[in-house]
Chains A and B, each alone.
Chain A
């Protein structure tokens, strides 16, 4: 072999240009074929499957949801008082927490889970005067525009927007169950609504003035409460309905809306400019996205990124892979595979959606205005990927047809396990 390797002469022949061109065409064709390889169901909708290198499949075989719940249980155990300051300082040092921002004495946090879901001192997070602010402390993983209904996870890898947010299901596939809500609402001069004690500017949330004329962009200052021209309405304990699909995997909560606004004659003068569906993007507008990663040491409550109205939430039971940048680079469809809560609504420019995505160590997602929501409970078995439970918040404020939120208002957070 050594002799042959050394003494066999090498003869070079010119390769015809046509053969080279053909070879390039075949390579390109195979590449494009690979890019478009998607699994679809009988109705032509994309079915998301675990795709990635071998170590992703190994991680996928682990009981991540059970591990997450055990992790949550362990971290809910009460720590001895003497251990708390030392333990939390050690955790803070290891994960880069800024303990100067805390309002409480470290001894008052009873467990690591309690410390993890800590609040911050008032005023340590000033709010910028722009239309969109960060909803959380974290790192910007990615941002950009959405084209062709695909969101870029990393360069060259995309996932379906419809898979992330869920597709609409027909009303005929829903049945009803009961779900209570309560509301207190006041409308001042038909421009400001005080709902459950918080005052909201209607034209900031709806993008109009009270008489329905479109307004220019920019923020408005809440008007001081005045007794003149004010109408008050209150309702308690009203029933709302939730529905479960025939497959048992999709449900909807629909409020019985005996509208406060209608009683006051406000509704006909309000024009809704936004849209809660992504299929109705107005001419001159585009769809944008951004992804923010919260590291273990970060403050784990999240706030409203703008003034908007949340019309519904969709809870997708899913896996609980780590969502670290390392994993995001390797596991395709990571944000579609994981458990998440899609909050869908509208702001003054149209559709607005916010999707907190769980992970192995933080599988529980809390939404302050949705006490019915339960995440990371039960098995994923019986919840096929892409199915969800849906709640509609029209009962939260019948004036605005949803749950209004101010810019930087606290919305909820992530808990350990």
Chain B
């Protein structure tokens, strides 16, 4: 199963993860 997130954000939004990284519920994905 997969979850796709699609969202609008200010252009200074940045992801704090890398492709292939394992994450758990509540871990940071991105910030402004």
Contact = CB atoms under 8 A, between A and B. Distances in A.
A349 B10 contact: yes
B13 A299 contact: no
A132 interface: yes
Interface in A277-294: 278, 281-282, 284-294
18 contacts: A125-B26, A126-B26, A132-B7, A136-B23, A140-B22, A141-B2, A165-B6, A284-B11, A285-B9, A288-B7, A288-B30, A291-B3, A292-B4, A292-B5, A335-B2, A349-B10, A351-B6, A353-B6
Interface residues of A, number: 62
A136 B17 CA distance: 14
Interface in A132-162: 132-143, 146, 151, 161
Contacts of B31: 130-132
Nearest to B21: A140
What are the 4 A-B residue pairs with the smallest beta carbon separation, nearest first? Answer: A350-B8, A127-B26, A128-B28, A130-B31
A275 interface: yes
Interface centre among B3, B11, B15, B17 (most CB of A within 10 A): B3
B23 A141 contact: no
Interface of A: 125-128, 130-143, 146, 151, 161, 164-165, 217, 274-275, 278, 281-282, 284-294, 299-300, 302-303, 305, 323, 335, 347, 349-359, 362, 408, 414
A125 B26 CA distance: 6
Contacts, number: 179
A283 B31 CA distance: 19
Chain B, interface residues (CB within 8 Å), range: 20 to 34
A133 to B, nearest CB: 5
Contacts of B9: 131, 285-286, 288, 349-350
Interface centre among B1, B16, B21 (most CB of A within 10 A): B1
A139 to B, nearest CB: 5
Contact of A299 (B18, B25, B27): B25
A289 B1 CA distance: 17
A291 B23 contact: no
Contacts of A290: 4-5, 15, 17, 29-30
A142 B15 CA distance: 11
Contacts of A323: 1-2
A408 B29 contact: no
B27 A286 contact: no
Given A134-B23, A139-B21, A290-B15, A164 B6 contact: yes
B18 A140 contact: yes
B25 A354 contact: no
Contacts of B4: 151, 164, 289-292, 335, 354-355, 357
Contact of A349 (B1, B8, B16, B25): B8
B32 A217 contact: yes
Given A127-B26, A294-B1, A287 B6 contact: yes
